[in-house]
Amino acid sequence: MCRHLAYLGPPLPLGEVLTAPAHSLLRQSWEPRRQRHGTVNADGFGVGWYADGDPVPGRYRRSGPVWADPSFADLVRVVRGGAFLAAVRDATVPGADGEAAAAPFAAGPWLFSHNGAVAGWPRTVAPLAAALPAADLLALEARCDAALLWALALRRLRDGDEAGEALAATVYETAGTAPGSRLNLLLTDGATVTATAWGDSLWYLTGPGAPGGGTVVASEPYDDDTRWREVPDRTLLRATSADVLLTPLKEPSP
- What pLDDT is stored for residue 94 in this prediction? 65
Q: pTM for the whole thing?
A: 0.96
- What pLDDT is stored for residue 203 in this prediction? 98
Q: How far apart are CA 117 and CA 90, in angstroms?
A: 10
Q: How many helices (H) and strands (E) does the chain have?
A: 7, 13
Low pLDDT (below 50) residues in the chain? none
Q: What is the pLDDT of residues 20-70, one digit of tens each?
A: 999 999 999 999 998 888 888 989 999 999 999 999 999 999 999 999 999
Helix runs in the chain, H state only = 15-18, 25-28, 70-78, 125-129, 134-138, 145-158, 163-177
- Contact yes or no for 211/16 (Cβ under 8 A): yes
Residues with a catalytic annotation lie at 2
- List the domains of the chain with CATH numbers: 3-117+183-248 (3.60.20.10)
Q: How far apart are CA 183 and CA 119, in angstroms?
A: 10
Strand order in the sheet with 193-197: 105-107, 110-117, 182-188, 193-197, 235-239, 244-248
- What pLDDT is stored for residue 252 in this prediction? 67
- What pLDDT is stored for residue 131 in this prediction? 86
Q: How far apart are CA 242 and CA 210, in angstroms?
A: 10
